[in-house]
Amino acid sequence: MQPGDALNVVAQVAVTLAGFAGIVVVFRPQSVHQWSALDKFRLRLLLANSALPLAFSLFGMLLLTIDPPPLGIWRWCSGVAVITQFAFFMTIRGATRQIPKAEFQAATNRLYYSVSALAAIAMVLQLINVALWNRFWPFFFGLFVHLIAAVTQFIRMVLLAPQNGER
């Protein structure tokens, strides 16, 4: 599969997942402002893990339209991803502080930490890609991890009951 085709697929999946987030919001009986801090956090993760791969894919496609493509195209893509993901992780870290500690600890499980470990691996691969490799696959792995995280959050939001007894 050519990188442009793979980026196109990622963009389509990311848009679809963002649309599913809208479905989750519409079918909940309360407005988002009435949700628990944990449920708002999960929605934020779903939206961010849909929006980031979309933006990264579009950036990669933009660079692929340059004729000839820049020699360091995947280095540039990974560099933008690293900077953006670092800001995302700092924002998410701040959002977890709004959730009561006991509630957050009860809600986090092996799945949360597994996805977090994959994200850390993706970040390291992106850094190596910027410094040494200039390959497509580390950049694509980062997109893959975001989409897996978004799918995970979507499934959790659909299958798990709202927090704090909301129905």
What pLDDT is stored for residue 164 in this prediction?
61
What pLDDT is stored for residue 131 in this prediction?
98
The predicted-structure confidence for 35-82, as pLDDT tens digits, reads as follows 888 888 989 999 999 999 999 999 999 999 999 989 999 999 999 999
What pLDDT is stored for residue 26 in this prediction?
85
Task: Using the predicted structure, report yes or no on whether residue 153 has a pLDDT greater than 70.
Answer: yes
Residue 133's Cβ-side half-sphere holds a number of Cα atoms within 13 Å equal to 15
The predicted-structure confidence for 69-124, as pLDDT tens digits, reads as follows 899 999 999 999 999 999 999 998 888 888 888 888 888 788 888 999 999 999 99
Sequence ranges of the domains in the chain: 3-165
Report CA 68 to chain centroid distance, whole Å.
Answer: 30
Whether the pTM exceeds 0.85: the reply is: yes
